Chain A
Amino acid sequence: MSDGAVQPEFGPDLAEVFGPAHADGGPELIQLLTPEGERVHHPEFDLDFSAEELQGLYRDMVLVRRLDVEATALQRHGELGIWAQLLGQEAAQIGAGRALRSQDFVFPTYREHGVAWCRGLDPLKLLGLFRGVDHGDWNPSDYNFNLYTIVIGAQTLHATGYAMGMQRDGVVGTGDPDRDAAVLAHFGDGASSQGDVNEAFIFAASYNAPVVFFCQNNQWAISEPIERQSRIPLYQRALGFGFPGLRVDGNDVLATYAVTRAALQRARDGQGPTFVEAYTYRMGAHTTTDDPTRYRLTADVEHWKLKDPIARLEVYLKRNGLGDDDFFADLTAEADELGHTLREGCKAMPDPEPLEIFDRVYAETPPELAAQRDGFADYLASFEGAH
């Protein structure tokens, strides 16, 4: 091979197509409220919010942050085995959660405490899994909110199949706002590397399923940065699967709400899936067992603190006279009350009964498993009265 050989073209230069990486989310970032609390407008996704709506979103975020802080403290006190923190992702979760209608169905990861809050789930219910007394103690159909799924990305396929079920039930694209429904599938930047997530994209695109793939790109999959998962902005992957992808400022509750609302409506209308990348940052650790100081710079965390989702809305509310001192004081009191309820409720959660596990494996318990249960019951009973 001679030095003067012409290099073949392998398509366009990717750096030119996608542009350089942007710490601020890049020019495509959809935003309605800047980190400084300035209201900005967007040609496609602008929405008017009433004072009550803004206060409601603010209240949601403050309370779920308190839930997160309390749960983290409960883990430190040994009341929870582990806790998956949402700190910094309140806007992404509340924005998405409040965009739902009651007939929509949500498939969460194990970090969607804010979305659970929006679905009306008692936050105490979220603690059971982390305390080790259950694997999720709510009926998904009571809240249209599935149990937390721990295997990364597995739930995106369930979401797609559920959406295919909705299509067969005739609740997509009828034009009836009380009937048409969609699915919201949560996952993270790490999950975007999973085969299941990519298969979910393919199935959803192929069947035009009414599902919104809502990815909270919090920049970190435990210790691995987003660059290890993707060489292009995640939302741009959607195009390759044949449906639109959008990047929204995930620390902007207004923009996240507006974009998710539009994507869900598109799905309900029968126009198929949308990928929403909520560009955010995991301010806390992956879980309470993680130590982020081993792999990321304090300066990065400090940079993202300036983009705090709650602080920017607080600035906006105060600057525009949308919340008086009583509003903020009452909310603080409400958060304190929530904290108290969580602390006391968590400590009061009973351990499960050992024999219950046998009855839950199958809808119809096989005789041999029933015999195993009876044998274990006899064994346990043999200790009664022993010292």
Chain B
Amino acid sequence: MVSTSSTGQKVTLAKGLNLGLRKAMEADDKVLLMGEDVGKLGGVFRITDGLQKDFGEDRVIDSPLAESGIVGTAVGMAMRGYRPVVEIQFDGFVYPAYDQIVCQVAKIHFRSKGRVKMPMVIRIPFGGGIGAVEHHSESPEAQFAHTPGLKVVACSNPVDGYWMIQQAIAHDDPVIFLEPKRQYHADKAELDETATPAPLFTSKVVRPGSDATLLAYGPTVKTCMKAAEAAAGEGRSLEVIDLRTLSPLDMGPVLDSVRRTGRAVVVHEAHVNLGMGAELASRITEECFYSLEAPVLRVGGFDTPYPASRIEEEWLPDLDRVLDAVDRSLEF
């Protein structure tokens, strides 16, 4: 097996994840990949490209077309001592596996008083913007973050993709691993495989600022970075935090930031009603009420089903809607 380890190469998110999966499989032969079309095809997004060729059909398993079956059998593999990494082909297709995820994966450690561990990673390409048909553009993170027993993370860039997937696989609790599919083959970033990554369940300030705080994860990190850049041109300094972890939340950097700026805007593609923004607004209010100059605002998908793709960009939060919310916060 040829290790592709190198420093300084420019990679996409898809490549970063692919290299991360390869590293994890090299590091631990108990790591198995399973999902629909993950073998010869390399997955519909090519995230597992080449892995079956190098690790064999026993470790990179093309599954029958049944999501509950994928997650349910992965539970059994984990009980047998394996570390299954399953791919759900699209966000909207995770629901047939929802029962196995929330009733079994999430509860087995608790049910067994910690005697049975469930080190499983459930990879879900999420979010919109790819011009797809219905069920291919959704953001189901709140439903999993609401479930005790699961941990939920979202990567936003190639370097995080590379490290976070390895960290999630090495972690002993089940991790819902959200990948912004719109970013898979978009921007490249320089990957230094010799670097030391931040711990998995930590949030990061990705752009410092002083006038307001933008809280984002997955696909909206890029949106917020662009918004902050545009705002800078108008003399406004926006801090951007890539949350990275949704359950547990890492409130430390968030609260530090909001105490400095006094204003927070949460930006996600998911519907705002009972979404991550609601939880973040509540926690910020509880923890730094007296630092707030304005209510925490939320920018997200509207409380409708995901629209037909020709108008999806109207539905998705974009630079202008983020800046509109920033204006409202600053003018409050």
Contact = CB atoms under 8 A, between A and B. Distances in A.
Contacts of A149: 104
Nearest to A160: B73
A154 B251 CA distance: 36
A199 B79 contact: no
Interface in A30-69: none
Nearest to A204: B73
B69 A203 contact: yes
B45 interface: no
9 contacts: A135-B110, A158-B79, A160-B76, A165-B82, A199-B68, A203-B63, A203-B66, A359-B114, A362-B151
Given A161-B72, A196-B72, A362-B109, A154 B100 contact: yes
Contact of A140 (B96, B116, B251): B116
B85 to A, nearest CB: 13
Contact of A135 (B63, B76, B111, B201): B111
Interface in A125-166: 134-137, 139-141, 146-147, 149, 151, 154, 156-166
B75 A363 contact: no
Interface string B92-108: 00001001100110000
B249 A164 contact: no
Interface string A333-363: 0000000000000000000000001011111
Contacts of B78: 161
Nearest to A367: B248
A157 B99 contact: no
B40 interface: no
Contacts of B119: 363
A190 to B, nearest CB: 16
A154 B64 contact: no
Interface in B54-79: 58, 63-64, 66, 68-69, 71-79
Nearest to B116: A140
A166 B73 CA distance: 12
A88 B255 CA distance: 62
- In the A-B complex, the 9 residue pairs with the closest CB atoms: A161-B76, A157-B72, A165-B80, A161-B73, A366-B248, A199-B69, A162-B76, A363-B172, A158-B76
Which of A163, A166, A361 gathers the greatest number of chain B CB atoms within 10 Å? Answer: A361
Contacts of A26: none
Which of A136, A141, A160, A199 gathers the greatest number of chain B CB atoms within 10 Å? Answer: A199
Interface string B30-48: 0010000000000000000
Interface string A361-374: 11110111100000
Interface in A157-202: 157-169, 195-196, 199-200, 202
B255 to A, nearest CB: 12
B253 to A, nearest CB: 13
B79 A140 contact: yes
A166 B76 CA distance: 10
B58 A199 contact: no
Nearest to B247: A366
A199 to B, nearest CB: 4
B74 A161 contact: yes
A136 B112 contact: yes
Contact of B80 (A134, A169, A203): A169
